[in-house]
Amino acid sequence: MTLTRVEPAPYRVRAWKDGRVIVDSRRAKIGFGARPPNFWLFPKEDVTAPAAAIEAEHDGLVAVKWSAADEWWEEDERVFGEHPRDPRHRVDVRQSSRHIVVSWQGTVIAESHRPVLLFETDLPLRFYLPRADVRFELLRRSALTTWCPYKGLAGYYDIAVGEARRPGALWTYETPLVDTPPGLVGLIGIWHEKLTVTVDGATP
C-alpha cells in the first residue's frame, strides 16, 4: 500500500460483514496513495474485524481491506465502488457544440454536435453523447457493470459490426448517485482509447 498523505475524515464511517458491524469510527482518516487511490485508516479500538481483514498499519491506525466488508457507509449513506471518495475529487460537466465523430473499423458509431464534456480529477477528458446521436442498431447490451464511487452504476454496450465485436466501449449511468451531475444521466460515454474519435476533425 502506497501512502502519500493522511487527512481527517469529516464523517462517521461504518462497515458491516454478515450483518455484524466490524468498523464504527468517528475518528477515521483518509489515506491517499497510488494503490488503492485512497483508503480509510481507523484507530484499532474502532475495528472489530478479524486480523486477516487488516490490510496495513500506519502511525497507530489500521486500514481494513475493502473486500473484508459487505457494506461500507459514510454517515447514513452507503459507499459504492472499491474505495472511499476523496472529498477534493470533482466531477464537472460542460455542454459543448464540438463536432464529435466516433467510429470503429471504419464504421461510424456516433456523431454529435451537442456533446457533454466530463472533467474529472486526475482522469482524462471524456465525451458523453445524447442517445439520439448514437447508432444503437450497432450496439449490443453487455452484461458488464462497474461502480464508480463518484458517479454510480455504469452499464456497458458492445459494438457489433457484422461478425466483429468490440466489447465494453460505450457506457451509461442509468442509476447515478445523488451527487452525480444531472447533465450526465442517460448519456452515452465514449471510451475513446478503444475507438477512433475525432473532435472538430482532429484526434484529441
Which grid cell sits at 76? 447514513
Query: Burial level of 35, CB count in 10 A (0-12/13-18/19+)?
Result: exposed
Whether the per-residue pLDDT at 38 is higher than 90: the answer is no
Residues whose CB falls within 8 Å of the CB of residue 34, separated by 6 or more in sequence, listed in order:
2, 4
Q: Show me where the domains of the chain are located.
A: 5-79, 91-199
- Kindly report, residue by residue over 56-95, the tens digit of the pLDDT: 888 899 999 999 999 999 999 888 878 888 878 888 999 9
Helix (H) or strand (E) holding 165: strand 164-176
* Amino acid present at 23: V
Q: Does domain 91-199 have CATH number 2.170.150.40?
A: yes
From residue 144, alpha-carbon distances to 51, 141, 157, 175, 187 in Å are: 33, 9, 8, 15, 17
* Amino acid present at 53: A
Residue with cell 482532429: 202
- Kindly report, residue by residue over 129-173, the tens digit of the pLDDT: 999 999 999 999 999 999 888 888 899 999 999 999 999 999 999
Whether the per-residue pLDDT at 1 is higher than 70: the answer is no
- Kindly report, residue by residue over 17-37, the tens digit of the pLDDT: 999 999 999 999 998 875 566
How would DSSP label each residue in 30-53?
Answer: EEE-SSSSEEEEEEGGGB-S-GGG
Distance of CA 199 to the CA centre of its chain: 24
pLDDT band for position 185 (cuts 50, 70, 90)? confident
